[in-house]
Amino acid sequence: MVELKDMVLERDVKIVERFTAEELDAYVGKGYFRFQCLDWAVRDYSCGMIYSDAEEAVEDGSTVLRGKSCVRNWRQLYNFMDSFGDGKYFAVLVFSGQWVENGHDGEDVVSPDKFLAAFNAAKVMALLEDEVQKYKENGWPLEDFWV
């Protein structure tokens, strides 16, 4: 397998296309979740999803973090979906690693060490929409959805 920091999802990883919420739940507590551009290397730093590398981010005045921005539960990705359009050019990457700090938006920043899985981001986003709708229809508090 390709080292995580050198991995480009589109080229190096089989992205799971068919899955359920329960299959995503199986990774909660075992890894961290993030949107990852399909054709950018998975480096051990984060410069924001709109920049292809640290140099480009710094030139634009952005901060480079010492790990990857991520969340602990795939449902928390709902809070960031608006930044990724229809998800077509992304996957949801699941990886293990060491917690480093809190990021710009209160997310975890983790130094990745092991790749666990990658899921089609558009399908994850559709599942998230379905799950939120289910919570709303049943009158369940959305605070319970995020944890």
Give the E-state strand segments of 49-107 in sequence order. 68-70, 90-102
Could you read off the pLDDT of 84-137 as tens digits, one per residue? 999 999 999 999 999 999 887 788 999 999 999 999 999 999 999 999 999 999
Domain range summary for the chain, segments of one domain joined by +? 4-146
pLDDT at 145: 77
Report the alpha-carbon distance of residue 41 to residue 48 in Å, rounded. Answer: 13
Q: Which residues 6+ apart lie within 8 Å of 121 measured at CB?
A: 35, 84, 87, 88, 90, 91, 92
The vertex-66 CA angle with 60 and 4, nearest 5°, equals 105
Tokens describing residue 44:
């051990």
In the chain, what's the furthest Cα-to-Cα distance?
A: 47
pLDDT at 147: 64
Tokens describing residue 129:
């929409």
**Predicted structure pTM score:** 0.88
